[in-house]
Amino acid sequence: MAFDIEMIKKVYSQYEERINAARQVVNKPLTLSEKILYAHLWHGNATEAYERGSSYVDFAPDRVAMQDATAQMALLQFMQAGRPKVAVPSTVHCDHLIQARDGAEQDLTRAKNESSEVFNFLSSVSNKYGIGFWKPGAGIIHQVVLENYAFPGGMMIGTDSHTVNAGGLGMVAIGVGGADACDVMAGLPWELKFPKLIGVKLTGKLSGWSAPKDVILKVAGILTVKGGTGAIVEYFGEGAESLSCTGKGTICNMGAEIGATTSTFGYDESMERYLRSTDRAEVADAANAIKAHLTADPEVYADPEQYFDQLIEINLSELEPSLNGPFTPDLYTPVSRMRDEAEKNGWPTKVEWGLIGSCTNSSYEDLSRAASIAQQAIDKGLITKAEFGINPGSEQVRYTADRDGLLKTFEDLNATIFTNACGPCIGMWDRAGADKQEKNTIVHSFNRNFAKRADGNPNTYAFVTSPEMVAAIAISGDLGFNPVTDTLTNRDGQEVKLDPPTGDELPAKGFDVEDAGYQAPAEDGSNVEVDVSPSSDRLQLLEPFEPWEGTDLKGLRLLIKAKGKCTTDHISMAGPWLKYRGHLDNISNNMLIGAVNYFNDQTDSVKNQLTGEYGGVPATQRAYKAEGIGSIVVGDENYGEGSSREHAAMEPRHLGVRAVLVKSFARIHETNLKKQGMLGLTFADKDDYDKIQEDDTIDILGLTEFAPGKSLTLVLHHADGTQEQIEANHTYNAQQIEWFKAGGALNIIRRNQKNK
């Protein structure tokens, strides 16, 4: 069934006119990314050419998607907007709050019991406001979106950084915070700095052990975790057309790990095949009618250096399988070099677990290719050395894979089939023995591998690779195993070699499912009640943040000077904290507890300037708040990389942090800070980071003349009585400055709704 087909047809009916208008004002051939962006301008046809990397532009996304952990805060904010129904098609997907432990059935039942209050809230609020609801067990948000909602040439936003997965079906799909989602659901424009463009030309064709995952692992190695910041990555070339639709989704999905705004591919036959296979022939037919507009103009791909800000070329025929990690998704190592690298770096080579799934690699094709390796292990008499865990991407994928015998193959190797949910990928893994914090290695087909990410153990060395490589390495139990060249000894003492993986792009007998897990909203939700208990420790209605007081900020205490990598996992951990995502005060007790304090190299240990004693970050900040004292957080490069979770901005705001000053920001986090009325500032001179001392109190001057492009002055008052002045830059435009003055963007929405 094709959801929202009339909306899709309306988008397509405007495409030619809008692209022609854009081509006139830009006065050159257009990339695919530019076509989609210009076709979704809030005000209609383009009247000016926007400057990449500097112009702020208002867009009109076609739809919004939210996962259960982030949907809570997004919808708690939307409930304050005063609208009876969402303005654009929107969905909620329950995939984050299901812990992997015993297996699908037991884990799902336990999650429904433990999180019933949250699931009931999300179900009822969706029912009331016209939002499609996908029940627990229905699948991982991005796989479900790819199967049901993504369409070529569309624009969507989602409250999860891996929303970008929908680029596999030719969308511009962008991860945002809940406040952005709230704007769009409330019928307001969505603002984005017009992205730069990175072109990736793919030549050749994958073969043997190489997989689509290896493409993005290679790109991550080239661009690093911040190389894509502020840019859309557009893949093209004969190699791109040779990839399956879900393979393209894998590549786009992990674009979040290079900081890219999103990634996308032009519409081609693999996308058409996928649309028809997932019962969306109407969408395929509509896309075919405008297919020339759903890829770049021919001149662009013929001479890409002229049209992209950066160009990368990868020959798929020469690409070898690889693993990225540990502790960062951009540390690229081809499998042929892994044994040497592991020995050189002291990485444990004994592999304890192999995990297949997550939103990145849980399609039917992924499971079928990995199952082909598992079947070989059975047929060739191999004894699997590591434990296996499988997370199917959706109930449709699980049901079809079960029907076709793929899951039985894994079970024959004693694999645990977990729920159709995120599970270990986002820290929802109750792994036996993880509390001992022993040094160990796991391999997985997920997207992120930050410390503590999967199991809470800081000494788990996690390596990212393709599902088929996960299977091979888990069978061998050896991180250095290279299935291209190495043999294994079977139970009869024979040396055997694994053949390259095989699999089906799409199920030969088609997809099938008994209950996909979808709940349609009420036609009229006006009588639907949404209850939030005042005594709940899981849900808390939001109170508006206070507006700016109209003066410069003086006497701010330094809360923490974070050292090195400080991701959203460090600022607001997931795992056991996910259960508090709908309760701002409770979840604020995890604020910055994973950040490393520059002054003592410890986590969750900062100096309280009121007492001189060291304590936890949240407790210290609560002490400042109780005394009416504001504070400032200082950070390093790419601060806030990783997840889209706006809790990393809302928690400091709630507890009284007034500003975050860093060397550089990840895109989504900087926007989230702005939306919540926070000051997100960057050092004009990055060396000034070294001037921040532990006992500093800090003034921020120039706010009474706060204006776009005008820097602010910070005065550092040191404990010895000396002071220094440093300059701080910002990227606030006029509208974002109004968010700051109002105390947050939501306060403006609420005010405007009251004045209607």
* Residues classed as catalytic: 95-96, 160, 448, 643, 645
The helix or strand, by DSSP H or E, that contains position 65, with its residue range, turns out to be: strand 63-67
* Pairing, β 351-356 against β 440-444: parallel
Q: How many CB atoms lie within 10 A of CB 734?
A: 9
Three-state SS for 606-664 is EECCCCCCEECHHHHHHHHHHCCCCEEEEECCCECCCCCCCHHHHHHHHHCEEEEEECC
The label of the residue with tokens 């001392």 reads: 693
Q: Which residues pair with 732 in a beta bridge?
A: none
Choose among 682, 680, 673, 681: nearest CA to 745: 673
Q: Which residues pair with 429 in a beta bridge?
A: 100
How many angstroms separate the Cα of 620 from the Cα of each of 144, 560, 603?
42, 10, 13
Choose among 66, 71, 248: nearest CA to 142: 66
The amino acid that residue 506 corresponds to is: L
Choose among 151, 172, 207, 145: nearest CA to 60: 172
Q: Biggest alpha carbon distance in the chain?
A: 80
Q: Are 354 and 444 in contact (CB under 8 A)?
A: yes
Half-sphere exposure in the Cβ direction for 578 (13 Å, CA): 27
**Rounded CA gap, 93 and 512, in Å?**
20
**Rounded CA gap, 724 and 7, in Å?**
57
Helix ranges (DSSP H) in 325-461: 335-345, 364-379, 395-403, 406-412
Q: Are 11 and 158 in contact (CB under 8 A)?
A: no
**Rounded CA gap, 319 and 251, in Å?**
14
Q: Which two tokens stand for residue 253?
A: 């999905």
Residue 447 DSSP label: S
Cβ within 8 Å of residue 691, ≥6 positions away: 716, 724, 726
For residues 546-562, one letter each, b for 16 or more C-beta atoms within 10 angstroms of the residue's C-beta and e for the rest, the string is eebeeebbeebbbbbbb
Radius of gyration from C-alpha coordinates of the chain? 25
Cβ within 8 Å of residue 466, ≥6 positions away: 211, 212, 213, 214, 321, 361, 445
Q: Are 57 and 192 in contact (CB under 8 A)?
A: yes
Residue 192 DSSP label: E
| Residue 326, preceding peptide bond in cis (omega within 30° of 0) | yes
**Rounded CA gap, 700 and 695, in Å?**
16
Q: How many CB atoms lie within 10 A of CB 681?
A: 25
